[in-house]
Amino acid sequence: MFVLGIDPGLSRCGYGGVRQLGSATEFVTAGVIKTPPSEPTPQRLLTLRRDIRELIEEFSPDAVAVERVLFQVNVSTAMGVGQASGVALIEAADYGCEIAEYSPNQIKLAVAGHGSANKEEIATMVKMLLGLSQPLKYTDTADALATALCHLAFSTSRTSSHTANRTANRTASKV
């Protein structure tokens, strides 16, 4: 199973891909999609959409896992994160990927073992879990990889219900 994790953001949108082969999990890709704050929001969203679409087309993920925004102090930041999240969700849906959203606490619990882990702990755990020799350059990539790892941790229990729902939805749409 290949999972593309997304840490949504309008200025910096982190992405990270991991593949699970049996009980082994391997790092595949990670990076950041950047959009200039000086550009109008619609152009930035278009850039983000194009780049996310290219990632999905290149890697053909089985699932796309997105960090869900629960609370932001800065309203304009929350709006941008929500818009970026929407772009990622619609591109994954358009491609037909399994889609999952996880709260920051779920991600921290799955990767670090507790819901109050800080950014440094998450980055350290991601590096350790994936056997990376170098630290990740951006916290956005660590968060995206953590989101993908979270999906792998939860996917065992979700796979059977998701497959049943997807089959039911396809059957219902053919009627």
Q: Which residues are catalytic?
A: 7, 67, 140
DSSP annotation of 134: S
The whole-angstrom distance between residue 136's C-alpha and the CA centroid of its chain comes to 16
Radius of gyration of the chain from Cα atoms? 16
Q: What is the spatial distance between Cα 48 and Cα 36, in angstroms, rounded to a whole number?
A: 11
Q: Is the distance from CB of 78 to CB of 20 less than 8 angstroms?
A: no
Q: How many CB atoms lie within 10 A of CB 41?
A: 13
